[in-house]
């Protein structure tokens, strides 16, 4: 009698080995083909069509492992590419004692935003965007923030900076009920790369719903005679600063199903935004990134740059690097810092950057620098 | 009374139509009013619509993963993104766009899956809700090739037809048994059928919870089982209670329907990669099913049916296993397998009732028949044998 079991097992394993190896070599073939396949299926697949039209070649860098479609930036009211260089500088006036008064107007509003193609999130926002406006001031200026709460829950603005207890933005010190208003006032110090976030309770919910933003204080060169040149390069509007390409990135995530685990990760909210639209970098111009981590639920976040190394200024409160020549830094929640690097001696091309937690990378926190000779 | 309105009278007929049309018209008006005026909008509390998604089939091939999903939410659903093992992947949907309630769509992913390993697919809807499906062991999905069908047919024959045939081969040896022996064999049949009944119902309920809510799983199983029981009882008793060959045929039919369900389950497990279908498992099924043949033989021991009826009974009881293997591996959906099993459960119940009735009639003792030593022994032996051999196939 034929031993059916053995025969059966043989057949299964032979088939499997064959298909298995096909699947293995198929990996790259699948990836390469999918980019073409997506554009080919343009007419008959709505969803796929939006994915890549026509599939740009940088998409191949991540194969088929990317979100499908495009986010409607106009409907969101903010564009992740424009956000990189969009500094909110408030309005400036001079106080009787001659000091500069910088006034920001901030409003908390509930807003449903599209955080990844086709996926909406019921966010709580500052001025209708996530992250909130990237506030920028100069060391020593008087800061006044007129904060109105048009949201459905109590909110506040808690600044990482030096200020009085009653300006802290915690319950009992600047927490604003819906419909209310509060004016926070303090001196801009210390210089560095900071952040603000809502400190209403429960804290986790208020942060992950979108209430945070970067808060950058430029050093005053007059107060830093030892490093006046470096300080001037960090001070917005100086010719020295104009020689830099400055970007602000707030690393965040979204728990769309509210299970206290993020479904999407990104820098500046939109998953894979800078993978699909790489950030243009002029080769000869040094790059400075103001990087803030506000990721909720996960313990840490990180930033890794491909093919290059950078100097790192933890919290940006020094004018000499706290870490020299690294290609990876980690940040816990609310940690932030400044990255400085240059592609001057690199050949033009696409240089990837991402969190080096593969999980975050594969769930959206991945982007590309498109290093070019000159901006067209 | 029949002087006033005769059944065929036109007046009566017009009245009939009026009284059917009027309530229907009222319903139509009510529906139109509710849709047009929307008086229920006050009920809306701002909560997002309930979303529900069920995975019905998963196909793995050299082009990647393909998942058939059925939407079951209150509103049409949109799948915005797809994760595999915690990474977003490009996908295409066929047909594209929103998935209407209770309808299905294929999600196709160019994913380089790894043979023999586990993968998790997570669908993210436009509201950010996620629906996860675990591919326990990734193996290529069998396709309907001649070789594949032959192979599965062979497995079906081994687990379905072969044991029934072997059981029936005891027929000559059993012919000589006396009254007690006969009671024992009939009770043995009831015992094994009771085991199958419990097993079938359990499996049916297990399966149906994974089906889309729109099929109302447990209700469907109970109603299908009852319906099949009542229909088979009615058919069986058209000319009095079935005995002899007729009873044997009903036993074969009940067992056949059970084997169909069993084949569906094996075929589906085979596709899902959760069963490696080793020699041990296949032989376990065969051993488990041998008593089925003895059960079929019991009512015809005192008759002399022609030889071809044995072939017919074997095919009726065992053949559906082959059919089940094919259907289960090629067109698997939990609700249809559960339905087949529920119908099988009804059929098995019918046979239990009829064999029990036959047993009581033979002994002229009514219900007391069941408390005689041969019958109690047979019942216990049947259940025990099935339970013990089932240990081979529960992995």
Q: Summarize pLDDT for B195-245 with one digit per residue, the tens.
A: 888 988 888 888 888 888 778 888 999 999 999 899 888 887 887 777 788
A254:B128 CB<8 A = yes
Task: Give the residue with greater pLDDT, B167 vs A166.
Answer: A166
Query: Residue A24's CB: how many other CB atoms inside 10 A?
Result: 13
| Average pLDDT of span A162-170 | 96
| CB-based contacts of B237, cutoff 8 Å, min separation 6 | none
Sequential DSSP letters for B63-90: TEEEEEEEE-SSS-B-EEEEEESSSEE-
A141: three-class secondary structure by DSSP: coil
B128:A119 CB<8 A = yes
What separation, in Å, do the N-terminal and C-terminal C-alpha atoms of chain A show?
Answer: 78
% of chain A at pLDDT higher than 70 = 83
Confidence (pLDDT) at A49: 33
Q: How confident is the model at residue A109 (pLDDT cuts 50, 70, 90)?
A: very high
Summarised one tens digit per residue, pLDDT across range A313-370 is 999 999 999 999 999 999 999 999 999 999 999 999 999 999 999 999 999 999 999 9
Residue A366 phi/psi, 5° resolution?
-155, 140
User: Best mutation site among A33, A65, A360 for testing chain B: the one with the most B CBs within 10 Å?
Assistant: A65
| Average pLDDT of span A100-113 | 97
B82:A68 CB<8 A = yes
Q: Which of A34, A121, A363 sits opposite B88 (nearest CB)?
A: A363
| Average pLDDT of span B253-264 | 83
Q: How far is residue B258 from each of residues A102, A117, B81, B338, measured CA to CA in Å?
A: 81, 48, 41, 11
- In chain A, whose CA is at the least distance from the CA of B283? A5
Distance (Å, whole) CA A355 – CA A364: 10
Q: Which of A23, A44, A359 sits opposite B112 (nearest CB)?
A: A23
**CA nearest to B139, candidates A177, A292, A14:** A14
Distance (Å, whole) CA A199 – CA A86: 24
Domain ranges of chain B: 53-135, 146-393
CA atoms within 13 A on the CB side of A200: 23
The residue whose two tokens read 């490093």 is A227
pLDDT at A255 over 90: yes
Q: How confident is the model at residue B6 (pLDDT cuts 50, 70, 90)?
A: low
Distance (Å, whole) CA B317 – CA B179: 26
Fold entry, domain B53-135: Immunoglobulin-like (2.60.40)
Confidence (pLDDT) at A8: 39
Distance (Å, whole) CA B326 – CA B268: 9
Confidence (pLDDT) at A110: 96
pLDDT at A297 over 50: yes
What residues pair up with A192 in beta bridges, in sequence order? Answer: A217
| Average pLDDT of span B372-383 | 91
Domains, chain A, in order of start with CATH, read 4-55 (no CATH), 73-372 (2.60.40.420)
Give me the interface pTM, i.e. the ipTM. Answer: 0.78
Distance (Å, whole) CA B321 – CA B256: 7
- Between chain A and chain B, how many beta carbons pairs sit less than 8 Å apart? 151
Cis peptide before A343 (omega within 30 of 0): no
Backbone φ/ψ region at B38: left (φ over 0), alpha (ψ -120 to 50), beta: left
Q: Is A77 on the interface with B (CB under 8 A)?
A: no
Task: Give the residue with greater pLDDT, B382 vs A181.
Answer: A181
The one-character DSSP state at B371 is G
**Contact residues, chain A, for B151 at CB < 8 Å:** 8, 11
Confidence (pLDDT) at B204: 86
pLDDT at A25 over 90: no
A92: three-class secondary structure by DSSP: strand
Task: Give the residue with greater pLDDT, B118 vs A30.
Answer: B118
What separation, in Å, do the N-terminal and C-terminal C-alpha atoms of chain B show?
Answer: 69
Task: Give the residue with greater pLDDT, A75 vs B19.
Answer: A75
Q: How confident is the model at residue A372 (pLDDT cuts 50, 70, 90)?
A: very high
Q: How confident is the model at residue B77 (pLDDT cuts 50, 70, 90)?
A: very high
Cβ atoms of B313 and B237 closer than 8 Å = no
Measure in Å the smallest separation between the Cα of B77 and chain A Cα atoms: 12
Distance (Å, whole) CA A25 – CA A30: 9
Q: How far is residue B65 from each of residues B68, B256, B285, measured CA to CA in Å?
A: 10, 34, 31
Torsion of CA B356, B162, B198, B242, to 10 degrees: -20
**Contact residues, chain A, for B96 at CB < 8 Å:** 44-48
% of chain B at pLDDT higher than 70 = 92
Q: Which of B92, B111, B151 sits opposite A48 (nearest CB)?
A: B92
**CA nearest to A152, candidates A108, A192, A189:** A108
Backbone φ/ψ region at A287: left (φ over 0), alpha (ψ -120 to 50), beta: beta
Mean pLDDT of chain A: 86
Confidence (pLDDT) at B368: 86
Confidence (pLDDT) at B94: 92
Q: How confident is the model at residue B386 (pLDDT cuts 50, 70, 90)?
A: confident
Helix axes B217-236, B179-208, angle to 10 degrees: 150
Least confident of A13-17, A125-129, A226-230: A13-17
The residue whose two tokens read 């080919």 is A40
Q: Is A11 on the interface with B (CB under 8 A)?
A: yes
Cβ atoms of A272 and A254 closer than 8 Å = no
User: Best mutation site among B76, B85, B88 for testing chain A: the one with the most A CBs within 10 Å?
Assistant: B88
pLDDT at B46 over 80: no
Instruction: Kindly give the pairing relationship between strand A212-218 and strand A134-138.
Output: parallel
Least confident of A103-112, A130-139, B154-163: B154-163
Q: How confident is the model at residue B273 (pLDDT cuts 50, 70, 90)?
A: low
Distance (Å, whole) CA B58 – CA B282: 24
Cβ atoms of A350 and A370 closer than 8 Å = yes
The residue whose two tokens read 């809700």 is B129
Sign of CA dihedral A153, A156, A158, A164: negative
Sign of CA dihedral A200, A204, A207, A208: negative
Q: Is A46 on the interface with B (CB under 8 A)?
A: yes
B86:A362 CB<8 A = yes
Measure in Å the smallest separation between the Cα of A244 and chain B Cα atoms: 34
| Average pLDDT of span B256-282 | 71
Mean pLDDT of chain B: 84
User: Best mutation site among B112, B135, B142 for testing chain A: the one with the most A CBs within 10 Å?
Assistant: B112
């Amino acid at each position: 009698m034929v031993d059916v079991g053995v025969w059966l097992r043989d057949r299964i394993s032979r088939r499997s080995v064959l298909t298995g190896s096909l699947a293995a070599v198929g990996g790259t073939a699948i990836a390469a083909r999918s980019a073409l396949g997506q554009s080919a299926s343009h007419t008959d697949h709505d969803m796929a069509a939006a994915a890549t039209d026509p599939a740009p070649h940088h998409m191949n860098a991540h194969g088929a492992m990317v979100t499908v479609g495009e986010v409607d930036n106009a409907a969101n009211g903010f564009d992740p590419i424009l956000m990189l260089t969009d500094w909110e500088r408030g309005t400036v006036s001079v106080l009787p004692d001659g000091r500069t008064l910088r006034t920001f107007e901030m409003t908390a509003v509930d807003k449903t935003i599209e955080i990844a193609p086709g996926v909406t999130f019921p966010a709580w926002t500052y001025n209708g965007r996530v992250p909130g406006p990237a506030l920028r001031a100069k060391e020593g200026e008087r800061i006044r923030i007129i904060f109105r709460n048009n949201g459905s829950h109590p909110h506040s603005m808690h600044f990482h900076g030096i200020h009085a207890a009653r300006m802290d933005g915690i319950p009992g010190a600047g927490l604003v009920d819906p419909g209310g208003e509060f004016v926070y006032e303090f001196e801009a110090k210390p210089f560095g790369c900071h952040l603000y976030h809502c400190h209403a309770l429960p804290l986790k919910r208020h942060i992950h719903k979108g209430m945070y933003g970067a808060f950058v204080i430029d050093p005053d060169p007059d107060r830093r005679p030892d490093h006046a040149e470096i300080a001037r390069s960090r001070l917005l509007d100086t010719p020295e600063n104009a020689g830099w390409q400055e970007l602000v990135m707030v690393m965040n995530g979204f728990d769309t199903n509210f299970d206290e685990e993020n479904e999407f990760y990104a820098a500046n909210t939109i998953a894979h935004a800078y993978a699909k639209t790489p950030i243009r970098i002029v080769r000869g111009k040094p790059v400075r990134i103001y990087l803030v981590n506000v990721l909720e639920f996960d313990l840490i976040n990180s930033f890794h740059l491909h093919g290059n190394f950078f100097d790192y200024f933890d919290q940006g409160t020094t004018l000499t690097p706290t870490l020299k020549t690294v290609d990876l830094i980690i940040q816990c929640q609310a940690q932030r810092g400044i990255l400085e690097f240059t592609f001057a001696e690199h050949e033009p091309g696409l240089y990837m950057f991402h969190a080096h937690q593969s999980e975050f990378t594969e769930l959206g926190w991945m982007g590309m620098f498109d290093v070019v000779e000159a901006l067209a | 009374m029949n002087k006033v309105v005769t059944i065929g009278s036109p007046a009566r007929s017009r009245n009939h139509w009026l009284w059917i049309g009027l309530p229907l018209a009222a319903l139509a008006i009510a529906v139109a009013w509710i849709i047009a005026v929307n008086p229920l909008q006050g009920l809306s509390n701002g909560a997002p619509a309930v979303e529900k998604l069920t995975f019905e089939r998963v196909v793995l091939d050299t082009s990647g993963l393909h998942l058939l999903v059925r939407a079951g939410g209150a509103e049409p659903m949109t799948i915005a993104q797809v994760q595999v093992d915690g990474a977003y992947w490009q996908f295409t949907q066929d047909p594209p766009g929103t998935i209407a309630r209770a309808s299905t769509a294929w999600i196709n992913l160019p994913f380089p899956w790894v043979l023999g390993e586990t993968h998790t697919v997570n669908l993210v809807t436009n509201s950010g809700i996620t629906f996860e499906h675990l591919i326990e062991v990734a193996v290529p999905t069998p396709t309907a090739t001649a070789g594949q069908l032959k192979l599965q047919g062979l497995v079906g024959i081994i687990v379905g037809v072969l044991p029934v045939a072997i059981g029936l081969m005891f027929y000559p040896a059993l012919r000589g048994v006396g009254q007690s022996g006969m009671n024992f064999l009939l009770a043995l049949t009831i015992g094994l059928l009771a085991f199958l009944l419990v097993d079938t119902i359990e499996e049916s309920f297990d399966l149906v919870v994974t089906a889309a809510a729109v099929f109302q799983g447990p209700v469907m199983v109970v109603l299908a089982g009852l319906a099949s029981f009542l229909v088979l009882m009615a058919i069986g008793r058209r000319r009095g209670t079935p005995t002899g060959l007729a009873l044997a045929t009903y036993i074969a039919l009940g067992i056949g329907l059970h084997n169909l369900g069993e084949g569906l389950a094996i075929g589906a497990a085979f596709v899902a990669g959760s069963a490696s279908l080793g020699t041990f498992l296949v032989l376990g099924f065969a051993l488990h099913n041998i008593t089925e043949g003895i059960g079929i033989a019991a009512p015809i021991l005192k008759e002399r049916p022609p030889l071809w009826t044995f072939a017919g009974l074997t095919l009726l009881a065992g053949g559906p296993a082959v059919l089940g293997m094919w259907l289960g591996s090629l067109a698997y959906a939990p609700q249809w397998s559960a339905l087949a099993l529920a119908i099988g459960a009804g059929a098995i119940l019918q046979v239990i009732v009829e064999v029990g009735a036959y047993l009581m009639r033979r002994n002229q003792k009514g219900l007391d028949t069941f408390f005689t030593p041969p019958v109690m022994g047979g019942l216990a032996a049947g259940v025990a044998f099935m339970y013990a051999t089932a240990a081979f196939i529960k992995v």
